Amino acid sequence: MRKRVLVTEPIHPSGMRRLAEEVEVVTPEGASLDALLGDVDGVVVRIAKIGAGLLERAPHLEVIGKHGIGVDNIDVEAATRRGIPIVFTPGTNDEAVAEHALMLMLMLAKRVQETSRALREGRFATVRAEPTGIDLKGRTLGLIGVGRIGSRLAAMCRLAFDMRVLAYDPYVAPERAAALGVELIRDLDPLLAAADFVSVHTPLTPETRGLIGARELAQMKPTAYVITCARGGIVDESALLAALRVGQVAGAGLDVFESEPPDLASPLFQMDNVVATPHVAGGTMEALEAMGLLVAEEVLAVLRGERPRYLINPAVYTR
């Protein structure tokens, strides 16, 4: 009898076809996850939450596949206690997210949202008489997290715009930073004080939740910008809104939010110096196909009794 894999949200057709070659693919079709998890051997999840309660109702579950990198929507400890491997898809959307962060930087630097609004409102001559923004060339980028995505953004900014790149990442060795051409800063405050753009590229963990709050924003230049394409909750949105209102920072580029979907009544969405996108940085055609195929391959490997390549909780194989 073929094993069954539940795919909680749509993934690229290439990934669905790959799964279907070896297993029976189940989709919700309006049914609740509670009802479906009890009779599947694997699950592929994008943003649906897989908590301890759901796992208790999945007696046959052998593997959880995360379509993406962040696993803050999965109870990793509960899965590990049950001996369920969690596989994920690192390296599949690095380019997409790095390009998106750069796009947000450029939109803010060039005042695209403000000048576009001015054009539509008939203020063509007026806005042309004003400075249209700043150049990236020679500016300082402060990276919080210099993994695959952060390092790719660093290369883009160094090579294309001759930017100075500072990096704060307690897990990166000086030799690695030197190879990337970035200056490793061991204390966050000097990075915040020096950067013209602060771009966040860390996972959401208990240590990083609220990492950029009121105190940190107060360290920044009033001409500096905050960019985050990581996870909502790393940047304190209330503190960011307060900082924007008083001109403590110049603007923000946001692809992720503390609550998703966010409350569109928030004043953040009324500000011309805030560029916001709906958590789509990693959603290019190329990235979605790569993620779909890789998560399928990793889930199938576990179901065949093989050890996967990309594993969140290796402890399940060392018991």
The C-alpha atoms of residue 65 and residue 204 are separated, in whole angstroms, by 18
pLDDT at 316 (0 to 100): 96
Q: What is the pLDDT of residues 250-298, one digit of tens each?
A: 999 999 999 999 999 999 999 999 999 999 999 999 999 999 999 999 9
Same domain, 249 and 116: yes
Same domain, 104 and 243: yes
Active site residues: 231, 260, 279
* Of residues 193, 226, 88, the one with CA closest to residue 148: 88
Mean pLDDT of 149-159: 97
Domain count for the chain, please give it: 2
The C-alpha atoms of residue 93 and residue 285 are separated, in whole angstroms, by 10
Same domain, 290 and 162: no
Judged against a pLDDT cut of 70, whether residue 319 lies above it is answered with no
Same domain, 103 and 183: yes
Q: What is the pLDDT of residues 77-90, one digit of tens each?
A: 999 999 999 999 99
The C-alpha atoms of residue 258 and residue 253 are separated, in whole angstroms, by 14
Same domain, 160 and 233: yes
- In terms of residue numbers, what domain contains 43? 4-90+285-317
pLDDT at 34 (0 to 100): 84
Same domain, 113 and 8: no
Report yes or no on whether pTM surpasses 0.75: yes
Same domain, 98 and 67: no
> What does DSSP assign to residue 24?
E
65, with CB counted inside 10 A (0-12, 13-18, 19+), is buried
